[in-house]
Structure 1
Amino acid sequence: MKIDLTDTTASKINKALVQGRRAIGTPAVGMVLTMVIVTDEENAYDSVKAAEDASREHPSRTLVVIKRHARTPRDRTASRLDAEIRVGSEAGTGETVVLRLYGEVSDHADSVVLPLLLPDAPVVVWWPVDAPDNPAQDPLGALAQRRITDMYAVEHPLEALQARVASYAPGDTDLAWTRLTLWRSMLAAALDQARTKVTYAAIESEAENPSSELLARWLGSRLKVPVERIVTAGPVITTVRLGTEKGEIVIDRPDGPLATLTLPGQPSRTLALKVRPTSELIAEELRRLDADEMYAIALRGEGAKENASHD
């Protein structure tokens, strides 16, 4: 079910949500959190689709904040809020409200969002693009227990990574880190099997890959060894090598959903290591809303020994 409201208010949106749920016989009590997506028109469709897919695991109220740019002098003074409400099958297993903010109201998005948050439920804010320099200090970010950014969406991701180091607050995370979950699990399992001291590490990836940089910092901080970055054609991370006293541990994924794991003195084996869609990454982040200490450690590279990257 879809309801369109033009030049509306937060109270009218709340009333429309109640009416929509009654019309389809769906209560709000099953929703576990509020997801706030701050995006633009260009990226709104993909972001909402990912959030609605994730809501099948985490039923939620999704509030999509789109600040419309003024095109004329009149637009700059005209203050208006339009809303598109989706409930039932139109919104996954929760409900979605697309908020389009015009004029002065766009400078006060937090005041629009605040009355629409589910009571007594966690709040997650996700910026698919154009994240603020300091998410925790952003007016919308200040409402949230969890703040999700994505360094892949910026022109210079490694510069963005350094900005994240400077502004990090508990509750911050980035999808560039979430993309590493399977890599980190496989590397930890491989080290458990090899039971030998690691003396160096090397990561092969495309240039300016923020996940590669975070993985290098994580390995350096955990293993206390130098980590070499090797630039390849990609895509994304292709190979991780860990040098040990017994030989190299290698996870190689040149392309596709499968990787090859090689351990010293053992035959190679094939493992599933796919590039996951955004919906799976968001669903993973919603499983835990406490501070991600490992992300903080990787971000800062605490205790890491680094080597410069080369071609």
Structure 2
Amino acid sequence: MIIDLPNTTISQVSKALVKMREENGVVALGRVLTLIISASTGSEEVAIEAANDASREHPMRVLVVCANGDSTLEARLDAEIRVGGDAGASEVIILRASGEAASDEQSLVMGLLLPDAPVVTWWPGTAPAVPGHAPLGRIAHRRITDASAQPNPQAALAQLAASYMPGDIDFAWTRLTLWRAQLAAVLDQPPYSPVTSVHVEGSDDSPSTTLLSAWLHSALEAPTEYVLTPGATSHGIHSVRMERSTGAIDLTRSVAGVAVLTQPEQPTHSLALPRRNLRDCLADELRRLDPDELYGQVITEALARLGASQPITTGPAA
């Protein structure tokens, strides 16, 4: 069910929610958090779809803020409420504000937050320079960004490192979960000889490649180089090679999302290692609402050490 509220106020939106609960039995009980999505007009549907899918694992209230603060526009707030089959296991409230009505994003959402429930803010597109100081970031327990969605992903990663505050997280790190798990599992098997060097390759629009290199450099304390290839047909991480005295371990991913693992005296294995979609990344990050300390250490300390020890090498265009 979808209810449109053109040229409305937050008070009227709140009253409409109460009326829906009374007339249709829509309740906020069981909602575990409030997810605020800050998106530009026209791009919000992709984020809403991912939130609806994730809500089946994390029932929540979703507040979508599309603010256009252009002072030449009419001060206006249009709202849309979605429940039932149009909102997954959540209730979605879309707030489209323009002109003076968009000047204070925090005041737009304060009256719609679930009481005594944690708040997560997600910027699926362009993120503020310092998420923790942004109006919607100050009220959030967790702040989710996506460096790969920025115009310059590698520069965005550097900005995230400079502005990091506990509670920040980026999908560039979330997309590494399967890679980190697979590489850790390989090193947990004999022989247990130390890694002497690491080589990582990926696309130049993949901040995950840089973060994976920083994590390996810090965890293994081995010389690490990473190659970012411009114009690559396959986005994301391409391969990881870990050299040991007993031979090299190679994990290489093809375009189809299938990785091939080769290591000395072992058969070659094919592994499913697809790029994680928005739904999987969002659901993963909503499983924990405390600061990710490992991400904080990698984005600040490990990334700085990686940059000092080995500059980025840019390979030829594919």
1:262 Cα shift? 1.7
User: Does the CA-based 8 Å contact 1:238-1:252 persist in structure 2?
Assistant: yes
What corresponds to 1:82 in structure 2?
78
In the alignment, what sits opposite 2:199?
202
Does the 8 Å contact 2:5/2:80 carry over to 1? yes
The share of aligned pairs that are identical, in percent, is 46
Are residues 1:169 and 2:165 paired? Answer: yes
Runs of 5+ consecutive residues of structure 1 not aligned to the other structure: none
Alignment partner of 1:42: what SS?
coil
Q: 1:26 to 1:54 in 2, by over 3 A?
A: same
Deviations 1:233-271 (A, max 9, x none): 232111111111211111111221321112222111121
CA distance in 2 between counterparts of 1:308 and 1:69 reads 38
The equivalent position to 1:129 in structure 2, one of 117, 125, 132, is 125
Contact 2:31-2:60 at 8 Å conserved across structures: yes
Q: 2:310 aligns with which of 286, 306, 311?
A: 306
Distance 1:122 1:172 in 2: 14
Question: Which whole-Å CA distance do the structure 1 matches of 2:97 and 2:26 have between them?
Answer: 28
1:185-225: per-residue Cα shift (whole Å, max 9, x none)? Answer: 10111110142201111111112421101111111111111
Over the aligned positions, Cα root-mean-square deviation in angstroms equals 1.5
Secondary structure of the corresponding residue to residue 243 of structure 2: strand
User: Are 2:148 and 1:152 equivalent residues in the alignment?
Assistant: yes
- Structure 1: which amino acid aligns with 2:143? R
- Mark the runs of 5 or more structure 2 residues left unpaired by the alignment: none
Deviations 1:103-161 (A, max 9, x none): 11211110110110000001000001110000000111001000000111111111111
State the shift of 1:6 in Å. 1.8
What's 1:293 paired with? 293
Q: Partner residue of 2:182?
A: 186
Deviation per residue, 1:277-297 (Å, 9 max, x gap): 101110000000111111112
Question: In the alignment, does 2:17 pair up with 1:17?
Answer: yes
Aligned to 2:226: 229
What's the counterpart of residue 39 of structure 1? 39
- C-alpha distance in 1 between matches for 2:4 and 2:256: 42
TM-score, length basis structure 1: 0.94
Counterpart amino acid of 2:313? S
**What is the aligned partner in structure 2 of residue 270 from structure 1?**
270
Between the aligned partners of 2:313 and 2:54, the Cα distance in structure 1 is 36
Map of 1:91 onto structure 2: 87
In structure 1, give the amino acid aligned to 2:236.
V
When residues 306 and 293 of structure 1 are mapped into structure 2, their CA distance, relative to the original with a 3 A threshold, is: farther
Q: Is the 8 A contact 2:236 2:275 kept in 1?
A: no
Aligned residue for 2:188, secondary structure, equals helix
Q: Is the 8 A contact 1:62 1:96 kept in 2?
A: yes
Distance 1:307 1:82 in 2: 48
Partners in 2 of 1:255 and 1:248 — Cα distance? Answer: 23
What is the alpha-carbon distance in structure 2 between the residues aligned to residue 164 and residue 287 of structure 1?
22
Q: Where does structure 1 differ by over 4 angstroms across 4 or more consecutive aligned residues?
A: none
In structure 2, C-alpha distance between the alignment counterparts of 1:144 and 1:310, rounded to whole Å: 37
State the shift of 1:175 in Å.
0.6
> 2-side partners of 1:158 and 1:231: how far apart?
10
1:69, CA displacement in angstroms? 5.4
Q: State the AA in 2 paired with 1:218.
A: W
Compute the TM-score of the two structures, normalised by the length of structure 2: 0.92
Alpha carbons of structure 1 residues 101 and 26: separation in structure 2 relative to 1, 3 Å? same
